[in-house]
Amino acid sequence: MADPIRTSLEELHALVDLIKTSVDSIEKTFVASNQPFPSLNGPSEPQSEAIRMSPVVQQASSVLVAAATQLIATVRPPPTTATTYALQFHVPACLRVAVENHVAEILREAGPQGLHVRDIAAPTKVNSEKLGRILRTLATHHVFREVTPDVFANNAISLTLDTGKSVSAILADPEAKYDNTSGIAAVVGHSADECMKSAGYLQEVLSDPSWGSSGDPAKAPFAKAFKVDVPLWEWFERPENSLRLRRFGAAMTMFAHSTYSEAIKEGFDWTELPKGSVVVDVGGGVGSQTMILAKTYDHLKFIVQDRDSVITGSAPGYWKENLPAAITSGRVTLQPHDFFSPQPVQAPAVFIMRCILHDWADDYAVKILRHLRNAAGANTKLIIVDSIVTNACPIPEKSSRIPGLKRDPFPEPLLSNRGMANAMAVLSDMQMLSAINATERTVDQFDKLFEQGGWNLARVNLADGTVFQGAKLVAVPT
C-alpha cells in the first residue's frame, strides 16, 4: 500500500521540478536570443515580448503557471484557499475603479517615479484615501507598484490598462476613451461592470424554476442583476448605455485580435476547393475574416451575411476602403440575413461561422445549424471557428478519436486541461453564462450539437496549439 505522506510529498517535488524545468527552458531561449526576460516592473522591449510569445516559451510558461498555481493550492491550508477565492471578486472591482479613474494614464504622464494618491485622485475628484486602499489591493496582486507609502507607479501589467490617450483628452470626451485602443481596458471595464454584477446572480437564476434551465438570453443572470426583461445587446442599445456599448465594441476588438490575423486560413485546405466555389460567412460582420481569405484565394467566391444594419451600414465602406475590386467584380457579395431564418444560399462549398455558436444556448444553436443543414449540398463543409473547453480530467476516449483533437498530454501531476494556464476557457464560459445565457463547449458538446443540427463532426484543428480561441471544427452533412 502506498504511503500517502510520501505520495503527497512526491507530488510537491514533481510540481517544483516542473517549475524549475520550465524556468530553465525559458532562460535558455532568452539567453540564446541575447535578450532580457521582460520585467514585471516594465515596460519591456518589443524584442523580449516577441520571444515571450514564441511557441517554446509559451509552452514552458503554460507548464510553469499550471504547476505554480497547483503548488499553491496544494500547500496552502484549504480554508485559506476557499476564503481567498471567495474574496477575489474585490480584485476586478478594484480594476474597474482604476480603469474608470484613468489611473494608468495619469501614472504614465507622471513618469516612472510615480505619483502620490492625492494627485492620482485629483483629475476625477474621487476620495484619495479610499483610492489608495484600492490601488494597494491591486499592487498586492502585482497590478501597479507602491513605490513608497501612498505613491504608486505603473508596472508591466497596469500598463496594459493604458489607452495611450492623454488624461485631458479622456476627460474632455469620456465616451471615446476606449475607441481605437487595444481593447484591454475595455475588456476589464466590461467584465468588472456588467459581467461581474451579472455573475452575482448565478444562484438566483439556477434556483428559479422558470429560469434555471432556460437558454433564453433574456433570462440570463444579467437580466436579474439589472432588473430588465431584454437581452444584454438590446439593453446596450438604450441611449443611457451609450458609453457601455462603445466600451463593449472596443472589448470585442481586443478578442478579435487575440489570435493572429492569418489564423482563419489554417485548419482547412482552401486551395482544394474548385474554382468558383462559394464560401458563405454566416454572421460575418463587415467581413474582416472573409477579406483575409479573399485576398489569398482568388479562385473562390464569397458571400458575407449579417444583419441588415451591418450589411448596408458599415460593411460597404469597409470593403470599399480595403478591397473594392472584390465587390465590383462580384467575387464578394454582401447579403443581409438573419441566421435564425432559412438560409438563402443553396449548396455552397463551405459555410463558415466564427464566434457565433458560443453566443447561443443549445436550443438556439441547433436552429442555426438546422437552417444551414437544410441548405447544404452533399459536399458542403461547415467550419466553426470557436473556443473549445476541455474537462479537468483526461479527455474521454470518444473525443480523443476525433482527428486533430488528440494532443500530447500535459505532464503529470498537472490537470489535463492545463489548469490555470488555460483558465480563460472556463472563465469565458462563465462570462457567457452570466451575461447572455450562452456557453463555451467541450468537443463532446459540439459533437452532440452537430448531431442534433444534422451534421457530423469530421475533425478538429487546434491551429494555435491551445484549446481556447481559434480552434476549427469541420463538419459534414449527415
Catalytic (active-site) positions:
358
How many Å apart are CA 437 and CA 36, to the nearest integer? 44
The answer for 179, left when phi > 0, alpha when psi is -120 to 50, beta otherwise, is beta
How many Å apart are CA 328 and CA 319, to the nearest integer? 10
How many Å apart are CA 142 and CA 135, to the nearest integer? 10
- Terminal Cα distance for the chain, rounded: 51
Answer yes or no: are the C-beta atoms of 254 and 182 closer than 8 Å.
Answer: yes
How many Å apart are CA 266 and CA 461, to the nearest integer? 8
Q: Is the dihedral of CA 175, 180, 185, 190 positive or negative?
A: positive
Q: In 10 A of CB 19, how many CB atoms?
A: 17
Q: Is the dihedral of CA 136, 140, 145, 146 positive or negative?
A: positive
Q: How many CA atoms lie within 13 A of 289 on its CB side?
A: 27
Question: Hey, what's the cell of 20?
Answer: 524549475
31 SS3 class: helix
> Which pairing describes strands 151-153 and 145-148: parallel, antiparallel, or unpaired?
antiparallel
What are the backbone angles phi and psi of residue 348, rounded to the nearest 5°?
A: -75, 170
